[in-house]
């Protein structure tokens, strides 16, 4: 699948304020500075659709991007060490959890994990929460071009082993690099397959 047209549709402070259209949605989330904006720009072939910043915490609302008038890519605030107050962090958590738990059109969340560093407690906790909340998700390993392929494999195996302390099996996983576009085709094909099923099911109910 190729994305021919992408358009920023707005930023929203809560799930109930988000667009009401009957279109499938895919949320992208990860620890602050995991490379989320770069991945979104790579997937959409846009240089600056999502704002890339060296300072974590720039995404502060639910950002909606419409793809080919067919589906929404939703950019969620990162979790982690963004320099914000405890009050603001709590507001973000409520906003993110409210969207993930209540949004009926959400088909899948893409949880981004940096493949260059050891397993992070905050990633494990968030993934476990997603499982407890029964929210469908896949994992995307980011920044894989920064290490030799064999080291990337070792790092990912360590992360997987840590996750398997909590899970019987892991969801689908993608290996990506925004610099060399690794994983782009696989991620978009996955979304395309889910989109087709979504619209087939929608047609049955009409």
Neighbours of 25 (CB within 10 A): 21
DSSP 8-class letter at 79 = B
Measured between alpha carbons, how far is 176 from 125 in angstroms, rounded to an integer?
22
pTM: 0.92
- Evaluated on CA atoms 193, 195, 200, 205, the torsion sign reads positive
Three-state DSSP at 74 gives strand
**In tens digits, what is the pLDDT along the chain, a chain of 206 residues?**
999 999 999 999 999 999 999 999 999 999 988 999 999 999 999 876 765 544 444 567 999 999 999 999 999 988 875 566 677 777 888 999 999 999 999 999 999 999 999 999 999 999 999 999 999 999 999 999 998 999 999 999 999 999 999 999 999 999 999 999 999 999 999 999 999 999 999 888 76
57 C-beta neighbours (distance < 10 Å), count: 18
| Alpha helices, DSSP H, located in 2-120 | 36-44, 86-102
Strand residue runs (E) in the chain:
6-12, 25-30, 62-67, 71-75, 106-114, 137-142, 173-175
* Domains assigned to the chain: 6-205 (3.40.50.300)
Give 135-173 pLDDT, tens digit per residue: 999 999 999 999 899 999 999 999 999 999 999 999 999
Bridge-partner residues for 34, per DSSP?
none
User: What is the spatial distance between Cα 78 and Cα 186, in angstroms, rounded to a whole number?
Assistant: 23
Cα angle 27-161-116, degrees, rounded to a multiple of 5: 65
> Considering just the CA atoms, what is the radius of gyration of the chain in Å?
16
């Amino acid at each position: 699948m190729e994305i021919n047209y992408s358009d920023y549709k707005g930023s929203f402070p809560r799930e109930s304020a988000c667009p009401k259209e009957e279109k499938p949605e895919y949320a992208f989330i990860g620890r602050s500075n995991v490379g989320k904006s770069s991945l979104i720009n790579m997937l959409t072939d846009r240089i600056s659709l999502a704002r890339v910043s060296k300072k974590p915490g720039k995404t502060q609302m639910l950002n909606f991007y419409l793809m080919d008038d067919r589906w929404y890519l939703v950019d969620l605030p990162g979790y982690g060490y963004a320099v914000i107050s405890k009050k603001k962090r709590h507001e973000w958590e409520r906003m993110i959890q409210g969207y993930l738990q209540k949004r009926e059109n959400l088909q899948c969340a893409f949880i981004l994990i940096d493949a260059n560093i050891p397993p992070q407690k905050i990633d494990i906790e968030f993934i476990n929460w997603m499982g407890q909340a029964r929210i469908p998700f896949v994992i995307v390993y980011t920044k894989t071009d920064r290490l030799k392929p064999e080291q990337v494999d070792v790092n990912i195996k360590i992360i997987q082993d840590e996750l398997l302390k909590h899970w019987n099996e892991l969801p689908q996983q993608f290996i990506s690099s925004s610099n060399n576009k690794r994983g782009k085709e696989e991620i978009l094909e996955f979304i395309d397959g889910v989109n087709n099923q979504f619209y087939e099911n929608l047609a049955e109910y009409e």
